[in-house]
Chains A and B, each alone.
Chain A
Amino acid sequence: MAADGTPLLELEGVSKRFGPVQALDRVDFAVSAGEVVGLVGDNGAGKSTLVKAIAGINPPDSGAIRFEGREVRISRPQDATELGIATVYQDLALCDNLDVVANLFLGREQVAPGPGRVSRQLNEVKMEHETADLLSNLAVTIPSLRSEVGTLSGGQRQQVAVARSLLGEPKVVMLDEPTAALGVPQTKQVLELIRRLRERNLGVVVISHNLADVFAIADRVFVLRLGRAAGEFKAEDTTEERVIGAITGLGEGRDKNQTSEEGA
């Protein structure tokens, strides 16, 4: 099922219940290094719940999570971060009043050596240098690293948020609706950035409503419907119609997805 060998991240039979609502029902999911998986489904299908389960925000009730082949417990966001799973949320969680460098290093500022935590000076030069290196590696162009993030365009903000998630050198990056509310050229920039994440051999999970975007970047499309896995497609072997069929549970998609699941 994975593109090559053991998947980087693998979920088996993961369930999550919120009161009377079965948000996730025995879901199996996997992403490999150097692979982009598009996670699609209707509102309330469980996409965000799945991502939050992996990110340690809402740990699953049952089921197993394996990371690099070994079984792990992710019960807090820090657990996910330590494993090397980074998440970029839809609201980006950037501080508009701080500049690009400050946002990238927020919570892990580089300081000069010396006694006392409060009195140590921020190493702005080093942080700016590393920011410039990282952004140029990703071919992200920002007019000035010292401009406030609030003054950047939506696409640039998204790129800053993605770049920030890479500072911890993660192995898996999950992006929640990265192209929502972006214009056409900005969407193109962000999709290009996601391709570069794949080139860096990261496992990438992209939640999106926009099937065109998903087909533009994903190697594999994973469909959730009412908390259940409703189909898994190789992007190159399928069509939007079949994916929509799986999302809605109508039409031929339902039958086809069984075969494509086996085929993929």
Chain B
Amino acid sequence: MSASQAATAEEAVERRPTTTETLRRIVQGDLSSVRVVLGLVVIAVIFQVQEDRFLSAENLTNLMLQITTIGLISVGIVYVLLLGEIDLSVGAVSGLSAAVMAVLSVKHGWNAYLAIAAAVAVGAAIGCLQGTLFSRFAVPSFVVTLAGLLAWEGALLQVLGKTGSLNITDPKITGLANIFYSDTVGWIFAAVVIAAYGAALAVGYRRRVTAGLGDTNMLSQIVRFVFVAAIVIIAVAILNSDRGVPLAVMILLAFVVGMEYVAKQTSFGRHVFAVGGNAEAARRAGIRVNGVRVAVFTIAGTMAAIGGVMAASRLFAVNQNSGGNELLLLAIAGPVIAGTSLFGGRGSVWTALLGALVIGSISNGMDLLSLSSAVKLMVTGGVLLLAVLVDAIARQQRQTSGRV
């Protein structure tokens, strides 16, 4: 068996992949995202049949606004999951950061942008502290951030003081989640996104061709481009037919794209994957493993703070429940549902967006059907369990079939 395998290996290196092989590779490579998109379609059909407001432009716009906070927090969670770690404090950190912003803005009259910057700094500092404790003393991240979850919730109550709730009035803060752009701006936004994506694909393709690395082909690039362009155009058309493209969506997309770039295209991102895959190998390769860990937890804290700011902006308030309830679990469940592995080293920042869409759709649809919290929680739990099982089964299959 090994001899024939060696022979096929030699053949494969000479052979250029055919179109069907490339198509198969696209499907296999993005299998988890294809799975999620199919899941979204199923969810949409189920809810649309029960309640025809589900796919209305108004409801889809609301859905996008609802997932902004979870999506932003999940972006940081993806990085933590890529390390094979967990951060249970992100919910509490988002609440505390938002409270800091609200107190500075409302009680102390700070400039809105300074207050937001202070909130983000608080999140980053907390993440850095937790990351340092975890990497320096080799305490499991689960425990460090569980302690954080309790402590930062306490800090939230402390910061809010006796009133327990603060209403935010500064339009610069409330605007973040409540500004909608005109149709024209929306279409310009769509055109810029599509052009940038097309340019990125074309540049990458040209580089590979000029370097003589022939294992990519034009068709797969075109398929990708058409697919993404279609989604962007449909999304903007839907949003425009309601209130317009929300600023919140642009913020979420900017962070997803930016952090996906960092994860996949920079050496820092490569090191995150390496530490998540085999920390000892990464250490021997000269990567400062603890530095990567601290940076990743700092990212998680920062993204949690940004998510908290968006949540406060949307609610026009910060209260004792900010960052509480099931926000934490949904922010972790989202990326896992969409295919980021809990075991580290596998995933992408896109799963933050896709996962938030899945969870947001289920939650939104069940709200439309006025289901009870009992049912909602059980359904969401079931979906998470299913996703984790799929992840675990995929991992087992890799282990049994991976080594020949």
Contacts and interface: CB of A to CB of B under 8 A. Distances in A.
Interface stretch (A16-24, A46-54, A90-98): A90-98
A107 B282 contact: yes
Contact of B285 (A106, A111, A118, A184): A106
A186 interface: yes
A107 B273 CA distance: 12
A185 interface: yes
A153 B280 CA distance: 21
A223 interface: no
Chain B interface SS verdict (over half): helix
B287 interface: yes
Given A97-B346, A117-B268, A142 B285 contact: no
A146 B8 CA distance: 17
A156 interface: yes
Contact of A186 (B2, B274, B344): B2
Contacts of B9: 141-143, 156
A109 interface: yes
Contacts of A102: 270, 273-274
Interface in A105-162: 106-109, 111, 117-122, 125-126, 128-129, 132, 141-144, 146, 148, 150-151, 153-156
A202 B10 CA distance: 26
A121 B13 contact: no
A95 B2 contact: no
A183 interface: yes
B265 interface: yes
B402 A93 contact: no
A189 interface: yes
Given A93-B280, A106-B282, A146 B2 contact: no
Nearest to B211: A125
A117 B13 CA distance: 34
A93 B281 contact: yes
Given A95-B274, A186-B2, A106 B268 contact: no
Contact of A142 (B13, B284, B403): B13
Q: Which of B8, B207, B213, B287 has the most CB of A within 10 A?
A: B213
Interface of B: 2-3, 5-6, 8-10, 12-13, 207-208, 211-213, 215, 262, 265-268, 270-271, 273-274, 276-278, 280-282, 284-287, 344-346, 398, 402-404
28 contacts: A94-B281, A95-B278, A95-B345, A97-B273, A98-B345, A102-B274, A106-B285, A106-B287, A108-B286, A111-B266, A117-B267, A120-B267, A122-B265, A122-B270, A125-B211, A128-B211, A128-B213, A129-B212, A129-B213, A141-B6, A143-B13, A146-B215, A151-B403, A153-B5, A153-B404, A156-B9, A186-B2, A186-B6
Task: Please name the 9 residue pairs, one residue from A and one from B, whose CB atoms are nearest each other, closest first.
Answer: A107-B285, A97-B345, A97-B277, A95-B277, A93-B281, A107-B286, A109-B267, A143-B12, A106-B285
Given A95-B281, A111-B266, 12 more contacts: A97-B277, A98-B345, A102-B274, A106-B281, A107-B271, A126-B211, A141-B10, A143-B12, A144-B215, A153-B404, A156-B9, A185-B3
